[in-house]
Amino acid sequence: MIELSACDAVAAMRAGDVSAEAYAEALLVRCEAGRDLNAFITLEPEAVREAARAADRLRAAGGPLGLLHGLPIPIKDSINTCDLRTTAGTRALSDFHSATDATAVAKLRAAGASVLGKTNLHELSFGWTSNNQAFGAVRNPYDPQRIPGGSSGGTAAAVAARMAPLGVAEDTQGSIRVPAALCGVCGFRPTTGRYPNDGTAPITPLFDQIGPHARTVEDLVLFDAVMTGDQRPVAPADLRGLRLGIARGFYFSGLDPEVEHQMDAVMDRLREAGVVLVEADIPDLAGLVAQVTAPIQIHDAAASWMAYLKASGAPVSLAELVESVSPDVKAVFERFVMPGAPLTIPEAAYAAARDVHRPALQRLFTDYFVQQDVAAMLFPATMTPATLIGEDETVMIGGTAISFQTAMARNISPGSTVGLPGLVLPTGLTRATGLPLALELDGPSGSDRDLLSLGLAIRALLPPMPVPDLVGRPTGQA
């Protein structure tokens, strides 16, 4: 049962072919078998079983069954849940229980889902490794010595390891897409604002966005239907004559040879399927991203956190929270984020980033999609496969040392800064080390359903991802 997609599992439970209790038990057994991955901060098996029994009682009584009937879903532990604590991966919130669910969680429950548990993450979502010093590092299911990506590493690891078919993550600057890429699952960051973000530990309201991890694009479509209420079918796109943009100068430079090799193979498959790849660079992209992404996040983080703590009823102030944060994240907050920090962003620079440079960046992408007549852009999600845990300062690519931040975040940053929908699809494993790699598709703002349609068609061209065993050696086929 752990191999079922969310769509298939729900269909089986709705039809009575599988009981919700039996399905939940299968997932719990898998969670226990994979506990060394440290994917969860909080997991209460008896509560999961009771929710499954309630789903079975509802079906037996002939009650209305939702789109997610009986489905246990792991939730990133930065998203409020009324029944389980929400720690945001930090000590000061280790006993914090929100009085209410985040709206996204409420929508999932209303559709018949239950919360499987709260997944581990990079502390306060400030990083791409999920090497959490408060609750322990999350480990990549394909190699437990390597990172799963961050900040939503626990959700991606749980979905990849077959602890659940569908999970909830959150993305400010790659926190859905980087873990999806490094763990070999699908990840979808919708157009900013498409799904409700309230009740989520924040960085900036301009970029923050809840979204799903799953092993199939069909399950991403299911999640989208629950969040938006739009249940119209999404069919695979016709790839013949479809145009995709390749901005090679920015997104393809300096890649790890394995990433480059696999992207070349993907583009060959797309051409064979009739896709037209349009080579056209985006002028001034790197400079505008630098003027917008970090300045806005650094400026907004403190005020956003203070508002979240107050609205959620958390028992600590921002100063008290930061005082107990682990040294790696604390150093960032004390240097850049906290009021009076030496490298805070001046108000004039922030206003320019928000009101001048970001609109210019948004116009740049709007013009690109229109002028090149492309449905989406295609590029490698990350510059390199998953690195070793603790290897988070520099990365060697082709004999050149580059910053870890660049390797993980260069390609994913523009889309979330602009607010575009972004879809990550696994493309296979590296030849030498057996680590997942992935492509990303970014579409115009508001093109979410079209992007999912495109994802359905392209995923069918790509090889199935081998199933990781629970000590990191791939076995079988998904």
Residues 6+ apart with CB under 8 A from 429: 142, 184, 435, 436, 437, 465, 466, 474
- In terms of residues, how long is the chain? 478
DSSP 8-state code for residue 430: -
The reply to whether 114 belongs to the active site is no
The model's pLDDT over 202-222, given as tens digits with 9 standing for 90+, comes to: 999 999 999 999 999 999 999
Residue from 35, 48, 212 nearest 136 by CA: 35
Q: Which of 5, 19, 125, 151 is catalytic?
A: 151
Residue 355's Cβ-side half-sphere holds a number of Cα atoms within 13 Å equal to: 6
Residues in the chain, pLDDT under 70: 471-478
Q: Where are the domains of the chain?
A: 6-277+376-461
Residue from 474, 454, 457, 456 nearest 465 by CA: 474
The reply to whether 76 belongs to the active site is yes
Q: Is 17 exposed, middle or buried (0-12, 13-18, 19+ CB in 10 A)?
A: exposed
Give the pLDDT of residue 242: 98
Q: Is 16 exposed, middle or buried (0-12, 13-18, 19+ CB in 10 A)?
A: exposed
CA dihedral 357, 359, 360, 365 (to 10 degrees): 130
Q: For the structural domain made of 6-277+376-461, what CATH number should be given?
A: 3.90.1300.10
Give the pLDDT of residue 470: 79
CA 422 to chain centre: 10
Q: Which of 5, 152, 175, 447 is catalytic?
A: 175
Is residue 392 within 8 A of residue 148, CB to CB? The reply is no
Residue from 421, 422, 448, 388 nearest 147 by CA: 388
The pTM (predicted TM-score) of the whole model is 0.97
Give the pLDDT of residue 471: 52
Q: Which of 5, 19, 76, 416 is catalytic?
A: 76
Phi/psi of residue 6, each to 5°? -60, -45
Is residue 412 within 8 A of residue 174, CB to CB? The reply is yes
The reply to whether 304 belongs to the active site is no
DSSP H or E stretch at residue 365: helix 358-372
CA–CA separation, 328 vs 338, rounded Å?
A: 15
CA–CA separation, 378 vs 215, rounded Å?
A: 20
Phi/psi of residue 42, each to 5°? -130, 125
